[in-house]
Chain A
Amino acid sequence: MPDGGAGQKFENPVTITIDGREIVAEQGDMLLQVALDNGIEIPHYCYHPKLSIDGSCRMCQVKTGAPKLAIACNTPVADGMEVDTQSEEVAKARRGVMELLLINHPLDCPICDQAGECYLQDYSYGYGRADARTTSPRRKGVKRHPIGPRVVFDQERCILCRRCVRFTSEISKTNELRVFGIGDHSHIGTAPDAPLDNDYSINTADICPVGALLSSDFHHKRRVWFLEETQTVCPSCSKGCNVKVGMFKNEIQRLVPRRNDEVNETWMCDHGRLHYAFAQDETRLRDAVVRGESSNGTVPVVPLDKALEDAAGRIKSTADEHGAAAVGILGSGALTNEELYQLAAFARAVGTPNVDVPVPTGEADGFLIQAEKVANARGAREMGVVPGDGGKDASGILAGAAAGDIKLLYVVDARSLLAASDAEAVQAALDGGATLILQDANVSELTDKAAVLLPGQVWVEKDGTFTNHEGRVQRIRRAMTPAEGSYCDGGIFTRLSALLAGTDPSAARFDARATLAEIAEKIDGYAGMTFERLGSLGVKLGDAAPAPAPAEPESEEGSAPAEPA
């Protein structure tokens, strides 16, 4: 493939051969990355595509025609270079590196979280030797040491590749980690009174090629080979970091970042990574509830159909009695585009202009963490969940309820509303006497106040799309079988719309794929978007239309074919 594989264009193309295969690359690019880009594996520990070159592990040595073997990570390619990654000389060098790295390694894989995704294990199998030639006792070091509030350190397993050191100096720029000591005493350490504590600290566990740095949250939780991993997007802010959700027996075990150079490179923040308990803890709502005049004290659980009928009845009678504008709808930026599109349709069916999405906001850090603390605030605006002509925005709707103008409040996701609004404004709205219909996945202060409660779902139970703050539309995928008793949020909207229109609600099934097709047809920027077109890395608004390019196949590893990140 002398054209450089996937049609890449080079400013100064050079041709090299790796193991007899001709490869075109950019002059000066490093040999290791060129090899990885072309699907040729050269084992390595310290090299990481998003960090500076260290050259310390010596594992990537190859023969380049120079008198000595060269480390591929720090060897610029030059025209005519002939590289050999397979000869006995190279194999012997790798065996030597492996042997030295393993002299003091505790080999405690059976109790190590990294087992199963460990470079040391993989390369030991591929390039090491079966026996040890040393008999002296292995060096002892600290184990299970909380090097920071969210990261556990095992000194004995560390191979001193310095990836974590470079991460805290180059990416988080917090400089908590360095190599201390000399020679055989070298170890990773933190300064006195300055633990590894920054918003991105657990990424050090991801990039640690061995089991030396581990996520405290995942520590001894589950063997990684039992995890079923699903590619999706983090829901915790509008950045939309690409992640993999690791499931075991329908429970989230961990979130890890997935490489997407257009969004999060290969990182994610600690908050987003650890914010998943709400999907599966005891706060999940599993019952539809309708509170009448007579339900004194007990929680009147009803089938969902009954609750939907009751909700539609209340909306209709409010609109008939006081006009449609007496209904206020507060949606959620935690919903998918497809659900929001159906929510907008539902609002039109009600006929009220008083529709908005309250968006909780907080600190942004100029790196990954965004101010909007839900994934899909932008999607909500684009799907039309915004005030209609003369309609009230979120705070206006709350004020209207407090003043008695809004007689019925339809709230989706009370926790977003509460986080986005002034507590007094919410209280005043409830005191105004409006009927509350609440569609929600989790318990909140509003749950008990709802006349009708419709149990919804969370992101990890859904298929659909989010639009991030930059207008990148990304696919989220169902990783979890929905909580028993909960109901698909999009389906609640379509069925309510049908009930209001007097058609058969059971026929109004929500289909995310079909809804996206409708969005693609009707909403600016979304033309050409399908689940397949979005692939694993998403597409920027406008970039899918028209769609002359062949659909990208969904790749397992994002844009990083050879780097497990």
Chain B
Amino acid sequence: MAPVLPEALRERIVAEFPKYPEKRAVLLTALHFTQETFEGWIPKETVPEIAALLELEPIEVWEVVYFYAMFNSEPVGRCHVRVCTNLSCCLRGARPLMRRLEELLGVRPGEVTEDGRFSVGEVECLGSCGTAPVVQINNEVYRENVGIDDLPGLLDELRQRLDARDAEGESEG
């Protein structure tokens, strides 16, 4: 079977080795790189290759992928919208917020909208409990004190960003 890790990604991971005493220590970085390369998620075929590269058992890589909410083992939308569901956010309405978000987009965690633009999920504490509930979109947008009524506006804003990005891409192409 042909390797699924692109050579550039492989080289990028290997370049991290000198920074650590052991190869296994590069795992989190390697997973972040992989997720960047594969549009926000970690395809299962990449795991045995990452494991071999870092001299780990494949299941040790899965253990880390499944432990952290920041790693996705299923495809995600171009905007992966995540609501913090730790204690403070839950006390301030994260559950109803999550439900409303699912209704507005018509997807449940693990699913992607038909146009490929959105997916939803939960995230562990983002360290902003004083401004709960908190919403994170990809690794770029963070919103505090998000109420149910703020969601339509937030989603419109995200759609406009995507439109703008698409237009940019077309003019470049």
Contact = CB atoms under 8 A, between A and B. Distances in A.
A295 B100 CA distance: 84
B60 A178 contact: yes
Nearest to B69: A182
Nearest to B62: A191
Most chain-A Cβ atoms within 10 A of its Cβ — which of B47, B60, B63? B63
A534 B23 CA distance: 52
B44 A189 contact: no
Interface string A165-193: 00000000001111111100000011111
Most chain-A Cβ atoms within 10 A of its Cβ — which of B44, B60, B66, B68? B66
A545 interface: no
B67 interface: yes
B67 A191 contact: no
A180 B63 contact: yes
Contacts of B63: 178-180
Nearest to A192: B44
Contact of A191 (B47, B68, B69): B47
A181 B59 contact: no
Chain A interface size band reads 10 to 19
B44 A193 contact: yes
A177 to B, nearest CB: 8
A501 interface: no
B67 A182 contact: yes
Interface string A191-223: 111100000000000000000000000000000
A514 B67 CA distance: 63
B36 interface: no
B59 A176 contact: yes
A180 B66 contact: yes
B58 interface: yes
Contacts, number: 32
B55 interface: no
Contacts of A178: 59-60, 62-63
A453 B153 CA distance: 88
A181 B67 contact: yes
A180 B60 CA distance: 10
B163 interface: no
B66 A175 contact: no
B54 to A, nearest CB: 15
B166 interface: no
Contacts of B47: 191
B58 A194 contact: yes
A191 B124 contact: no
Interface string B27-39: 0000000000000
A189 B58 CA distance: 13
Given A180-B66, A181-B66, A192-B44, A175 B59 contact: yes
Interface string B41-61: 000100100000000011110
Interface in A7-62: none
Nearest to A175: B57
Contact of B124 (A179, A182, A190): A182
A178 B60 CA distance: 8
A191 B51 CA distance: 12
A186 to B, nearest CB: 9
Contacts of A189: 62, 66
B67 to A, nearest CB: 5
A192 B62 CA distance: 9
A175 B68 CA distance: 20
Nearest to A169: B57
A175 B63 CA distance: 11
Interface string A142-168: 000000000000000000000000000
B44 A180 contact: no
Nearest to A176: B59
A290 to B, nearest CB: 60
Nearest to B68: A182
Given A178-B59, A180-B66, A191-B47, 13 more contacts: A175-B57, A175-B59, A175-B60, A177-B59, A178-B62, A180-B67, A181-B66, A189-B66, A190-B59, A191-B59, A192-B44, A192-B62, A194-B58
29 contacts: A175-B57, A175-B59, A175-B60, A176-B59, A177-B59, A178-B59, A178-B60, A178-B62, A178-B63, A179-B63, A180-B62, A180-B63, A180-B66, A181-B66, A181-B67, A182-B67, A182-B68, A182-B69, A182-B124, A189-B62, A189-B66, A190-B59, A191-B47, A191-B58, A191-B59, A191-B62, A193-B44, A194-B58, A194-B59
